[in-house]
Structure 1
């Protein structure tokens, strides 16, 4: 998922903003949001299909749909704010918006300066096969051929774990389009890739492929959360309750199927 800041200087600036904003965060933001009647939701607007600007100049995608659903369940109006990704947390700490629903990976460094609601989806390493393949687990890949993108961490994983899960052979390719072609043609039995791009590609093309269960796969998942300012337990609880309700009543799955083509919680 998306990288927030790079360099020690940027992290230092972020910490400074956090300290400056800390006194205001002591009063829980939930009441302020209710009084204003709106939840200001930040994202880059440049990360399709999660958030992007359509031909009608509307910010659409998975993230705004999730943010809008949360706001509606909290009884307030959703207001989408687009901003540059490299300053998005600083903007949150400066009270320019109330939350970030922008496909932000939860990391220890980010947790030092913001709190996270969720996670609201997971992403990471996955193994895909053709829809009619007899392969159902990693052990079924013994004696099979696996496709990976040359130089990616998935190639390293496939080489390091071949003996553990089975004696598979590895073919390398330039990227996802070539991997999908090779899988569909039967020249490889499985591909090891990031799951979200494949799910989106399958939704667009209608390719008959499926992800096999890989519990405990090393590096197999990262968690993506909704950022809010620290010191807001009531807001956190209200947003988590709304997100949980969306997941329970089918709203989340409907949104995920529309934009991603799969339930990615």
Structure 2
């Protein structure tokens, strides 16, 4: 009987301890927004070779659609925007180790990222497409059978290829490089026959270098761009969402989109 009493007391103590831990976690304050305000800056991690979302211009200044939007959001929060170029395939690690405060650079929403991060509301729609040289004679995805395709490593273009196995298996070779600039250089010099990339990026280059490239009609996947924050940093995420919604109502998001891609691709309501 005494033995049973001791066991019951032990179980009760463990239950109280677990309840206390749960309550402590539940009551833990989310200071993410205040932390940003206290330090006076929002550190944005990006691939700085990803036009028109974020890239270096001729004066080596980082510019682009995401940069214009982020600057305005940071201004409304009352902090400076700090731009930090990162290796795109290490973006999650850069965020987790607090080297950056957010991933904001054509960052695609998917289930895996939703489970690991706090994501903003989607702010732009996009698709994955193949871009080829205008005089290549390639007009459809089927024309790429037995040919070489290049894309950016650790990108949604890579994910799109994995989702289109029949097309992927029809290729002679699939090459992965560090960024889209390198991918397009390979295409120009004959190192590949096509580049798979974000339509927003492809349309930018088609417009910038008229007569050089064309985009094939068939898309490989559809997606939405979001901003990635650390898991649990809901206060900062919601503050950014608020400003994105305000900017959409004011017509400012549409204006910035038209500036960089020629039309309004934003989807914030």
Q: TM-score, normalised by structure 1?
A: 0.59
Counterpart mapping for 1:84-233 below 5 A: 84-124=87-127, 147-149=139-141, 150-151=144-145, 195-197=199-201, 199-201=203-205, 203-204=207-208, 221-233=222-234
- Give the structure 1 partner of residue 57 of structure 2: 54
Runs (4+) of structure 1 moved beyond 3 Å?
Answer: 201-207, 217-220
The superposition leaves residues 36-88 of structure 1 with CA deviations (integer Å, 9 ceiling, x where unpaired) of 12111110111122111122221111121121121112121111111111111
In the alignment, is the contact (CA less than 8 A) between 2:107 and 2:226 conserved in 1? yes
Q: Paired residues, what number?
A: 192
Q: CA RMSD in A?
A: 3.9
Q: Give, in angstroms, the shift of residue 206 of structure 1.
A: 7.5
Q: 2:46 aligned to 27, 43, 48, which one?
A: 43
Q: Give, in angstroms, the shift of residue 194 of structure 1.
A: 6.4
Q: Give, in angstroms, the shift of residue 112 of structure 1.
A: 2.0
The superposition leaves residues 201-235 of structure 1 with CA deviations (integer Å, 9 ceiling, x where unpaired) of 5643689xxxxxxxxx9965201110001112211
CA distance in 1, matches of 2:251, 2:47: 27
1:74 aligns with 2:81: no
- Give the structure 1 partner of residue 244 of structure 2: 243
Secondary structure in 2 matching 1:226: strand
CA distance in 2, matches of 1:248, 1:41: 24
Q: TM-score, normalised by structure 2?
A: 0.59
Structure 2 unmatched ranges of 5 or more: 1-24, 130-138, 146-160, 168-186, 189-196, 212-217
Check 1:72–1:91 CA distance in 2 against 1; reply closer, same or farther (3 A cut).
same
Structure 1 unmatched ranges of 5 or more: 1-21, 127-146, 157-175, 178-192, 208-216
The superposition leaves residues 113-145 of structure 1 with CA deviations (integer Å, 9 ceiling, x where unpaired) of 21111212111168xxxxxxxxxxxxxxxxxxx
Check 1:198–1:89 CA distance in 2 against 1; reply closer, same or farther (3 A cut).
closer
CA distance in 1, matches of 2:209, 2:256: 19
Q: Give, in angstroms, the shift of residue 198 of structure 1.
A: 5.3
CA distance in 1, matches of 2:35, 2:234: 13
CA distance in 1, matches of 2:260, 2:250: 18
